[in-house]
């Protein structure tokens, strides 16, 4: 019997694993269920320890998902290579290995939130195809007696090269088809996502529009007052966009309410809507970080919707679930105390972009996104504090009010500027309270009161600017904000967890 080399076995197994994943993705795309890789990736995300999550966001920012996918490919290929090397001697090892991967994938996929039994099929078919191909390539076969017309002992290598190349080519074709189907689905969704809301095609209820942003609201040259949709930070646990067509989508209001409601996209459009300038912020935003953005959100006020449903006595928490099973919850008061909490369908004049929650999401002024801003909304339940949102068992506080904060936008940290009169500028935010004062100090000198830009809304950030005569040398610049309740942000630096970073944004610059 003639065996192929261990290296060849490893290569064949890596190709077979690629084929298995490609077939899994294609079957998933055709049957419209979660792909095996996304299921396992999602499971990994849900079990990522906090330090790793924070580290990943810090290192890779919003590229964390691309890095995760790359990491998964590499891990799978390393496992496959080892399996393949072992399978050269014992071909059954390869088959069993692929079988185990298929079963684990199927188990994970079926048990993902909002998944179904059908999600087991893609990993099983993928593993079966990959395992069979690997077995076919590495199985021992009788040595051919070299005939006169053949290169002696060349048969094995040629056969290996041919079968492995065919498998690789097949995998490329299959994965390209899977991608094409997935892209078509996303394109179908983006036909309505991120598009002008008042194009006249949809009848809309009255909209209480937001006034245009006054020119005086923007004084930080590095921070547009309204964050464009394309530049708006994106944070979520989703590896692919939840499937929701505005024609069939609806969300439920249920739990401790008098009359449960099911509300469609058309229902929302037909109701009175508001447009409000609201700054949202991620609890994972480091002091001075970029996970904060300001947009004109348009939607139906949550208190109007809850009025229709009727909140029952004893309800403590507005608990919401996304189409992909993510959850968050905040106090009932935040929905009805007069602030503009809403089920949003629009962002900066367009329907919600897919990545920001199309068809609809929650926006609650003054609360971090992780407790309130559910994208791809599927359900709102009125309940008690017994229910815990996604991040709570993962070490974050159940209550997440946004901390009063400020950020220096100009000059940039670690930049060099020329001596002479200049400006120090930035933003400050204290949603649902408003910014009353911003102070800056240079080299731990006295706190100097900055000029505040035009106040647009207590729920939106406020820009500020301070004239400064830059003298040559190294300088440290520090900022602090005071909100309209009279609270001045603390200088004490805390970690992100459990309820958001505190401390002064402090930068070092050179003047020369």
Ligand X SMILES: Nc1nc2c(c(=O)[nH]1)N[C@H]1C(S)=C(S)[C@@H](COP(=O)(O)O)O[C@H]1N2
Residue 322 near ligand X by CB under 6 A: yes
Residue span binding ligand X (CB under 6 A) among the ranges 133-141, 321-329, 381-389, 427-435: 321-329
Residue 292 near ligand X by CB under 6 A: no
Residue span binding Mo ion (CB under 5 A) among the ranges 69-77, 160-168, 274-282, 440-448: 274-282
Nearer to ligand X, 130 or 293 (CB): 293
Residue span binding ligand X (CB under 6 A) among the ranges 131-139, 236-244, 305-313, 497-505: 236-244
Residue 235 near Mo ion by CB under 5 A: yes
Secondary structure string (H, E, C) spanning 431-469: CCCCEEEEEEEECCCCCEECEECCCCCCCCCEEEEEEEE
Tokens for 352, please give them: 């919600």
Applying the rule CB under 6 A, the residues between 271 and 290 that interact with ligand X are 282
Residue 407 near ligand X by CB under 6 A: no
d(CA 4, CA 2): 7
Contacts of residue 12, Cβ cutoff 8 Å, sequence gap at least 6:
4, 84, 133, 134, 137, 138, 160, 163, 164, 167
| Among 53, 112, 356, 407, contact with ligand X (rule: CB under 6 A) | 356
Q: Is 418 exposed, middle or buried (0-12, 13-18, 19+ CB in 10 A)?
A: exposed
d(CA 425, CA 279): 18
At 61 the three-state DSSP class reads helix
Choosing among ligand X, Mo ion, none, which partner's interface includes residue 274 (Cβ < 5 to 8 Å by kind)? Answer: none
Nearer to Mo ion, 235 or 367 (CB): 235
| Among 182, 218, 236, 340, contact with ligand X (rule: CB under 6 A) | 236
Residue 376 near ligand X by CB under 6 A: yes
Residue 232 near Mo ion by CB under 5 A: no
Q: How many residues bind ligand X (CB under 6 A)?
A: 18
Residue with the CB atom nearest Mo ion in the bound state: 282
Contacts of residue 137, Cβ cutoff 8 Å, sequence gap at least 6:
4, 12, 16, 160, 163, 164, 167
Nearer to Mo ion, 54 or 267 (CB): 54
Nearer to ligand X, 135 or 232 (CB): 232
CB of 295 to ligand X, least distance (A): 9
DSSP track, 227-282: PPGGGS----S-SS-----TTT-EEEEEESBSS-EEEEHHHHHHS-EEEEEEEEE-
CB 121 within 8 A of CB 105: no
Nearer to Mo ion, 256 or 362 (CB): 362
Nearer to ligand X, 370 or 468 (CB): 370
Residue 237 near ligand X by CB under 6 A: yes
Phi-psi region of 200 (alpha: psi -120 to 50; beta: other; left: phi over 0): left
The separation between the first and the last C-alpha atoms of the chain, rounded to the nearest angstrom, is: 77
Cα dihedral value 243, 321, 227, 301, nearest 10: 110
CB of 244 to Mo ion, least distance (A): 21
CB of 123 to ligand X, least distance (A): 24
Inter-axis angle of helices 36-46 and 91-110, nearest 10 = 70
d(CA 346, CA 361): 9
Considering only CA atoms, which of 352, 294, 366 is closest in space to residue 322? 352
Choosing among ligand X, Mo ion, none, which partner's interface includes residue 311 (Cβ < 5 to 8 Å by kind)? Answer: none
Nearer to Mo ion, 283 or 511 (CB): 283
Residue 282 near Mo ion by CB under 5 A: yes
Residue 194 near ligand X by CB under 6 A: no
Choosing among ligand X, Mo ion, none, which partner's interface includes residue 510 (Cβ < 5 to 8 Å by kind)? Answer: none
Contacts of residue 78, Cβ cutoff 8 Å, sequence gap at least 6:
none
Nearer to ligand X, 231 or 386 (CB): 231
DSSP for residue 488: B
Nearer to ligand X, 322 or 348 (CB): 322
Residue 373 near ligand X by CB under 6 A: yes
> Judging by DSSP bridges, how do beta strands 207-208 and 273-281 pair with one another?
parallel
For tokens 């099983």, what's the residue?
124
CB of 390 to ligand X, least distance (A): 7
| Among 159, 234, 379, 441, contact with ligand X (rule: CB under 6 A) | 234
Applying the rule CB under 5 A, the residues between 337 and 396 that interact with Mo ion are 369-370
Residue 374 near ligand X by CB under 6 A: yes
Instruction: Find residue 317's DSSP bridge partners.
Output: 331, 383
Interacting residues with ligand X (CB under 6 A): 232-238, 282, 322, 324, 326, 356, 369-370, 373-376
Interacting residues with Mo ion (CB under 5 A): 235, 282, 369-370
């Amino acid at each position: 019997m003639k065996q192929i080399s261990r290296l060849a076995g490893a290569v064949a197994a890596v190709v077979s694993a690629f084929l298995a994943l490609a077939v899994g993705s294609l079957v998933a795309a055709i049957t419209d269920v979660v792909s095996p890789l996304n299921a396992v990736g999602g499971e990994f995300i849900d079990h990522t320890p906090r330090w790793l999550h924070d580290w990943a966001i810090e290192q890779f920012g919003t590229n964390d998902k691309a890095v995760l996918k790359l990491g998964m490919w590499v891990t799978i290929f390393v496992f496959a290579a080892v399996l393949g090397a072992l399978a050269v001697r014992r071909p059954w090892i390869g088959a069993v290995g692929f079988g185990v991967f298929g079963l684990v994938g199927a188990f994970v996929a079926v048990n993902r939130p909002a998944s179904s039994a059908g999600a087991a099929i893609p990993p099983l078919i993928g593993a079966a195809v990959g395992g069979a191909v690997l077995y076919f390539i590495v199985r021992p076969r009788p040595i051919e007696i070299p005939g006169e017309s053949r290169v002696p002992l060349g048969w094995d290598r040629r056969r290996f090269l041919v079968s492995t190349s065919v498998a690789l080519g097949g995998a490329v074709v299959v994965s390209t088809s899977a991608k094409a189907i997935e892209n078509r689905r996303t394109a179908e969704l983006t036909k309505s996502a991120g598009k002008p809301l008042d194009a006249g095609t949809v009848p809309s209820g009255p909209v209480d529009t937001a006034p245009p942003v006054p020119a005086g609201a923007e004084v930080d040259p590095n921070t547009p007052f309204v964050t464009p949709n394309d530049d708006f930070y994106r944070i979520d646990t989703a590896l692919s966009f939840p499937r929701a067509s505005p024609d069939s989508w609806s969300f439920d209001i249920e739990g401790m309410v008098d009359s449960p409601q099911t509300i469609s996209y058309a229902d929302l459009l037909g109701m009175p809507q508001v447009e409000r300038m609201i700054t949202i912020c991620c609890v994972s935003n480091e002091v001075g970080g970029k996970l904060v953005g300001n947009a004109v959100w348009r939607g139906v006020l949550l208190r109007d919707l809850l009025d229709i449903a009727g909140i029952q006595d004893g309800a403590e928490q507005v608990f919401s679930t996304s189409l992909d099973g993510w959850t968050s919850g905040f106090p009932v008061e935040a929905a009805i105390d007069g602030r503009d909490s809403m089920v949003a369908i629009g962002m900066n004049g367009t329907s919600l972009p897919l990545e920001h929650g199309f068809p609809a999401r929650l926006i609650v002024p003054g609360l971090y996104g992780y407790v309130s801003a559910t994208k791809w909304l599927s359900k709102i339940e009125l309940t008690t504090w017994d229910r815990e949102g996604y991040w709570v068992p993962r070490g974050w506080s159940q209550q997440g009010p946004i901390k009063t904060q400020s950020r220096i936008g100009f000059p940039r940290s670690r930049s060099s500027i020329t001596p002479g009169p200049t400006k120090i500028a930035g933003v400050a935010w204290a949603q649902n309270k408003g910014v009353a004062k911003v102070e800056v100090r240079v080299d731990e000198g006295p706190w100097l009161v900055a000029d505040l830009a035009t106040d647009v809304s207590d729920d939106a950030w406020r820009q500020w600017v301070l004239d400064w005569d830059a003298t040559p040398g190294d300088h440290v610049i520090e900022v602090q904000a005071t909100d309209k309740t009279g609270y001045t942000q603390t200088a004490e630096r805390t970690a992100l967890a459990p309820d958001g970073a505190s401390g002064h944004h402090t930068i070092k610059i050179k003047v020369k």
